[in-house]
Amino acid sequence: MIFEIIARDPGCEARCGRLETAHGTVDTPVFMPVGTQGSVKGISPDELEALGAHMILGNTYHLHMRPGAERVARLGGLHTFMHWPRSLLTDSGGFQVFSLAKINKIEEEGVAFQSHIDGSRHLLSPETAVKIQMRLGSDIAMVFDECNSYPVSYQYASESMQRTVRWARRSKAAHDQAKQALFGIIQGSVFLDLRKSCLEQLEAIGFDGYALGSLSVGESKEEMLEVLETITPMMPGQNPRYLMGVGTPEDLVEGVRLGVDMFDCVMPTRNARNGMLFTSQGSIQIKNSTYADDGGPIEEGCPCYTCRRFSRAYLRHLFMARELLAYRLNTLHNLHYYLKLMADMRQAIAEGRFEAWRQVFYAARGKE
């Protein structure tokens, strides 16, 4: 993997880069749609390509539970299995083990848990998490980490962070695939000294990129911003910086301003399936009865597949009638919105006018 910075905004930390993986070039800052179980919910790989997605995320926990990494490997790896020719990042399974599975024990060795699907017993450790990701054949793998919920005591966050560092070291030792990059994950909850210490220790081990984990897990926007403002500038500038599981359009704009290069979040896809659609003026609920006779598109002038063809009235009808097409058309619009937002930010950075662009972005939403 090669990462190159190609532009920096003069007014803030924002930067544009180019990430070369075994499956092509990814322009950064990048938003990665989430393909939890080997499919970005509601749309096809062709549609993802047409939307301009350069990299998507696959969930190691889900794919390990079903259909299994061995099976995916036998079928040619995750790219082939799901027919996705571009770049893929896999998480380590840490987040899902801590949020979905029934945890039996967290030990130095790893986490013993029961599958949320069938209750079967498994152990996920740094070694197994890395092995699974190598089998899946993603372009970027993540170290196995412990995700903290919010709030968590300083004491627990500190012990957990130290374990995450030890697990990161073991993850790197277990990793043996030249074509696959490996990123470290900075933990430490909202405690800045723990985050700093974690980052320093991870840098000493040395990774291809660095990620911030356990943010947007219940803490206030102020707390999240404080971590971002303090830690992001300390993250090595020559490596990609990845803010995991974040977030709203505003979160992306603030992350980019502070120098983040990569994001992933289920928000555009999940909200689409719940009928919440993004526009430059904010979001709308398509089920609202005001749209029942509205012949206009979700957003006037939006060039997405959905807006070029279908009215709000039709989309509302599909959603009320629970038609499958509703979820797809809503998802296409929301992902277009997110990916266009990233493209707009990249262009603004390249032209050295990110701060001015950011003011227009907030003004359209009625915010300063």
In order of 4, 72, 139, the CA distances from 133 in angstroms are 25, 11, 9
By CB under 8 A, tell whether 328 contacts its own copies: yes
Of 165 and 329, nearer to its own copies (C-beta) is 329
Closest approach of Cβ 40 to its own copies, in Å? 8
The verdict on 296 binding its own copies (CB under 8 A) reads no
Give dist(CA 339, CA 148) in Å, integer. 29
Helix/strand/coil for 292? coil
Q: Is 102 left (phi over 0), alpha (psi -120 to 50) or beta?
A: beta
Binding status of residue 38 toward its own copies by CB under 8 A? yes
285 near its own copies, judged by CB under 8 A: no
* 130 and 144 Cβ atoms separated by less than 8 Å: yes
Contact residue for its own copies among 193, 293, 303, 359 (CB under 8 A): 293
Which token pair is 165? 């560092």
Which two tokens mark 14? 């924002």
The Cα-based distances of 280 to 135, 177, 333, 337, 351 in angstroms read: 40, 42, 12, 8, 21
Q: For its own copies, which residue of 323, 343, 357, 365 counts as binding (CB under 8 A)?
A: 323
- d(C-alpha 282, C-alpha 277), whole Å: 9
Among 39, 114, 162, 280, binds its own copies (CB under 8 A): 39
9, 91, 145, 261: the active-site residue: 91
- Say whether 145 is catalytic: no
Q: Which of 121, 221, 309, 367 binds its own copies (CB under 8 A)?
A: 309
Catalytic residue among 139, 145, 208, 264: 264
Select the span of 131-139, 202-210, 319-327, 355-363 touching its own copies (CB under 8 A): 319-327
Nearer to its own copies among residue 33 and residue 240 (C-beta): 33
**Cα–Cα distance, 99 to 101 (Å, whole number):** 6
Does residue 27 carry a catalytic annotation?
Answer: no
Assess 150 for contact with its own copies (CB under 8 A): no
Measured in residues, the chain has a length of 368
Asked if residue 81 binds its own copies (CB under 8 A), the reply is yes
Q: How far is the CB of 83 from its own copies (least distance, A)?
A: 5
Reference 54, options 349, 343, 350; nearest CA is: 343
Catalytic residue numbers read 91, 264
Q: Which residues bind its own copies (CB under 8 A)?
A: 37-39, 41-45, 66-67, 71, 74-76, 81-83, 292-293, 295, 309-311, 313-314, 316-318, 320-321, 323-325, 327-329
